[in-house]
Structure 1
Amino acid sequence: MKYQIIPVTPFQQNCSVIWCKDTLQAAIVDPGGDIDRITTEVEKLGLTLVKILLTHGHIDHVGGAQALAEQQNIPIVGPHIDDSFWLENLPGQSKNFGFPEVGAFTPNQYLNDGDTVELGNQKLQVVHCPGHTPGHVVFYSASSKTAWVGDVLFRSSIGRTDFPQSNHQDLINSITKKLWPLGNETQFIPGHGPMSTFSEERQHNPFVADQLLG
């Protein structure tokens, strides 16, 4: 699986173009906004967009999804249905976070833990990781040992749990019981900030390092 990160929105959210190098079929992970920038990059890379993948329902991750889906005539896939209330409240999120108004929408497909998303000859494993939001999912490529983790985990930090239906212990469990088993060598692209590896975070992350959690 190949990828390119495109920071979008005033929150500098890490939107990713991901694609199968054999078929050049591509997906956009978390198009929070700036869809003209996203589509320009897709055209430069010579890719064919076939779907949009959402990790969770916060506006900086989904704000451009509906407009991009309509423009490209492609489906929106994810997150887990437990984040439907966030998608239904997108107009409210727009006001609360100072984003251009975005209407509520329903994805073409909600995802469950253990589902597989196909992209050309590549497959992504879906891992349900509640905590930051109840319906947060992570996309994992075994072939490239890469995970798109949204706002579950960051380099030297973890996701916030002060939102409605967030849960700190659920987040810790998601990281240690769902992500770590994917392998220390796994590199991850967080929703914001630089990439890291699970090994690095298990050693040095001040919230979930192994020595802190026993």
Structure 2
Amino acid sequence: MTKKPSFQKKVLSCSRLAKTGLVSVILVGLAACGTGPAPTTYDLSAPTTGIKARLGGQIVIATPTALQALSDQNIVVRNETGAMTFLGGGQWADQLPNLIQARLINTFENGSKLRAVALPSSGVIADYQLVSDVRAFYVVTPGNEAVVELSVRLVNARTGQIIRGKVFTAKRQVGDGLNAGSAAVALNDALSSVLLEIARWVG
């Protein structure tokens, strides 16, 4: 049975913001202190077990593309009409595409492929490139279901030819009522399932 990856969250306090020495950050921090508590920052995690990726060469992982609403640090809610809003009180640890890219690389690394996977900017002469698009990364209401969907293509880095492609989807029910914390946990769990499937598919 696959062990669920640990989920981490960290709180950025006003005192921490005030010690950065950057004027802009200090102003933001003071504004947050004056209007209420700073939002909790949530990380995403990568699977650590059950990874079966047999790579026949070196691969670079491109930053996923996404709609503007899914390209920031906001935790997104989408209703049945397609309207998107943001959950208050929480945010992702980085812009979502960057965070997904990092955890996708971590997934391959956790599968003992540390020497075969890299960023496009690393200078690695790659055999393959993995490109992806974030099609869904939000909680759907009124059912409160977390949905993660990534469209992935494996590209020959030398010729630019698409070798194959697939859409990966996972859904998880949000527990304990809809809030930033419960949404982040459900989305993290759904993403872990998607990342595991992608690693197996690439291999």
- TM-score, normalization by structure 1: 0.23
- TM-score, normalization by structure 2: 0.24
Instruction: Return the structure number with greater strand share.
Output: 2
Q: Which has the higher contact order (CA 8 A, sep 6+)?
A: 2
Of the two, which has the highest radius of gyration?
2
